[in-house]
């Protein structure tokens, strides 16, 4: 099982590796980041996790948002994986394409524009940036594989959410295959896979027992021992989260990443509860709250 106190340390080590690679390519600007990470690796740390990327400033679940999160020194970036009609893995939060793309204009007759009703070739035609800002016009909906490639040398850690897996039978195996095709993400401490669907996560754990599992939600304390048989993290919404709940999760050897926290005062309170990570749309602001 993944050991809770190692999460941020391992991510910090992954950050060093990734930052060192960037530093080798671009010598002077990256050097201060390496020393900052070295200094902080001795301190107790809380992971700064960019929710759907730096989604306060760039369109969610796009490479632009993930790259911005990396530049803002997030420890991990979070993304949502779903599946197309031809079983390709794409990044999208909603189960329809309407809110974050121009699908209604490009395919006016395809209501309700479900992700799973479109092929990858069709989704390639969509603009996933203009809804957010004209500055991001023509930003594409990325595939999971494209993001694993694009971010391999840029971001320390990835929090991969399998969104609504009941809509995509077999998606767990396809995610596992994609990860095996990108083995650098399987380095210790670099990856957590999570879902609101705990059965799906049990399935994923059977497929890739080496990958830490996060369960989204707030399971009853009485259920924690059973869940700890395959889960490494419990990831609850921050509203209603208590110091005692965090302590109970820790007592079963699991960590806590809480979401979605955009207010630094709230984040400081949650850090005082002992959470292991803050999932935020504003990784730059949270950088000031967490240790590294």
Task: Give the binding site for ligand G3P (CB under 6 A).
Answer: 51, 78, 80, 93, 161, 216, 235, 259, 279
Burial class (CB in 10 A: 0-12, 13-18, 19+), 142: buried
Residue of 93, 182, 250, 252 marked active site: 93
250 as an active site residue: the answer is no
Query: Distance between CA atoms of 170 and 185, rounded to whole angstroms?
Result: 21
Count of H helices and E strands in the chain? 12, 9
Kindly state whether residue 48 participates in binding Ca ion, applying the rule CB under 5 A. Answer: no
Query: Distance between CA atoms of 227 and 49, rounded to whole angstroms?
Result: 23
> Looking at 17-25, 41-49, 80-88, 237-245, which segment touches Ca ion (CB under 5 A)?
80-88
Least distance in Å: CB of 80 to Ca ion?
4
Q: Which is nearer to ligand G3P, 33 or 260 (CB)?
A: 260
Least distance in Å: CB of 49 to Ca ion?
10
Burial class (CB in 10 A: 0-12, 13-18, 19+), 275: buried
Residue with tokens 């309170």: 269
Can you tell me which of 80, 102, 197, 284 binds Ca ion, judged by CB under 5 A?
Answer: 80
Can you tell me which of 102, 161, 197, 276 binds Ca ion, judged by CB under 5 A?
Answer: 161
252 as an active site residue: the answer is no
Query: Distance between CA atoms of 71 and 49, rounded to whole angstroms?
Result: 13
> Looking at 73-81, 115-123, 138-146, 240-248, which segment touches Ca ion (CB under 5 A)?
73-81
């Amino acid at each position: 099982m993944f050991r809770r106190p190692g999460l941020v340390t391992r991510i910090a080590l992954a950050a060093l590796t990734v930052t060192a690679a960037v530093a080798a390519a671009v010598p002077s600007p990256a050097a201060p980041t390496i020393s900052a990470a070295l200094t902080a690796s001795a301190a107790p740390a809380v992971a700064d996790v960019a929710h759907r990327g730096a989604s306060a400033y760039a369109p969610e679940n796009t490479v632009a948002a993930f790259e911005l999160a990396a530049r803002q020194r997030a420890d991990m970036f979070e993304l949502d994986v779903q599946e197309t009609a031809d079983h390709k893995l794409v990044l999208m939060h909603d189960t329809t394409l309407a809110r974050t793309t121009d699908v209604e204009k490009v395919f006016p007759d395809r209501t309700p524009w479900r992700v799973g009703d479109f092929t990858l070739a069709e989704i390639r035609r969509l603009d996933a940036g203009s809804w957010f800002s004209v500055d991001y016009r023509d930003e594409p909906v990325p595939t999971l594989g494209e993001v694993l490639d694009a971010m391999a040398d840029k971001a320390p850690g990835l929090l991969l959410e399998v969104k609504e897996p009941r809509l995509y039978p077999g998606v767990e195996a396809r995610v596992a295959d994609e990860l095996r095709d990108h083995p650098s993400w399987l380095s210790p401490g670099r990856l957590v896979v999570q879902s609101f669907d705990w059965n799906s996560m049990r399935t994923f754990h059977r497929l890739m027992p080496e990958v830490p599992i996060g369960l989204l939600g707030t399971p009853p304390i009485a259920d924690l021992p059973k869940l700890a048989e395959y889960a490494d993290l419990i990831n609850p919404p921050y509203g209603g989260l208590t110091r005692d709940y965090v302590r109970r999760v820790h007592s079963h050897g699991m960590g806590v990443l809480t979401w979605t926290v955009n207010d630094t005062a709230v984040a400081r309170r949650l850090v005082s509860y002992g959470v292991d990570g803050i999932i935020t749309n504003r990784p730059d602001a949270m950088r000031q709250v967490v240790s590294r």
